[in-house]
């Protein structure tokens, strides 16, 4: 993964984990990589991974079983919420960009219809 220097690394990895979850690369209830394994996979500091897992736990995306590791939630509603939040963020960015370019709502809808 190539990191964007304008966004904290831990947020970028959290976003990637969320993407892996909604794309099915990471399954509900699946055991996640250990702190060390994730640090090696992304070539980041293990302390950053600890922060990532702490943030994901606060969001209800994962949980830790003492001595056994960290697991993805089994709650399907969390998956739906993540997907909707990511879609809303993408749409907001898209609409703002189109407005900045000078497109009207009708122009945007026409372009979407043509591209879809």
Are 10 and 53 in the same domain?
Answer: yes
Q: Is the pLDDT of residue 1 over 90?
A: no
Cα 74 to Cα 66: distance, rounded to the nearest angstrom: 17
Are 113 and 89 in the same domain?
Answer: yes
Q: What angle do CA 60, 33, 40 make, to 5 degrees?
A: 125
pLDDT, tens only, 64-113:
999 999 999 999 999 999 999 999 999 999 999 999 999 999 999 999 99
Are 56 and 97 in the same domain?
Answer: no
CATH code: domain of residue 51: 1.10.10.10
Cα 110 to Cα 104: distance, rounded to the nearest angstrom: 10
Q: Are 64 and 57 in contact (CB under 8 A)?
A: yes
pLDDT, tens only, 22-79:
999 999 999 999 999 999 999 999 999 999 999 999 999 999 999 999 999 999 999 9
More confidently predicted of 13 and 2? 13
56: containing domain: 1-74
């Amino acid at each position: 993964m190539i990191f964007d220097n304008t966004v904290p690394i831990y947020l970028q990895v959290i976003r990637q984990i969320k993407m892996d979850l909604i794309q099915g690369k990471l399954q509900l209830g699946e055991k996640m990589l250990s702190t060390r394994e994730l640090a090696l996979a992304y070539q980041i500091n293990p302390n950053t991974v600890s922060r990532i897992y702490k943030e994901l736990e606060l969001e209800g995306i994962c949980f830790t079983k003492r001595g056994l590791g960290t697991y993805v939630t089994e709650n399907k509603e969390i998956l739906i919420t993540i997907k909707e939040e990511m879609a809303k963020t993408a749409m907001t960015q898209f609409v703002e960009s189109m407005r900045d370019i000078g497109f009207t709502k009708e122009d945007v809808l026409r372009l979407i219809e043509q591209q879809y």
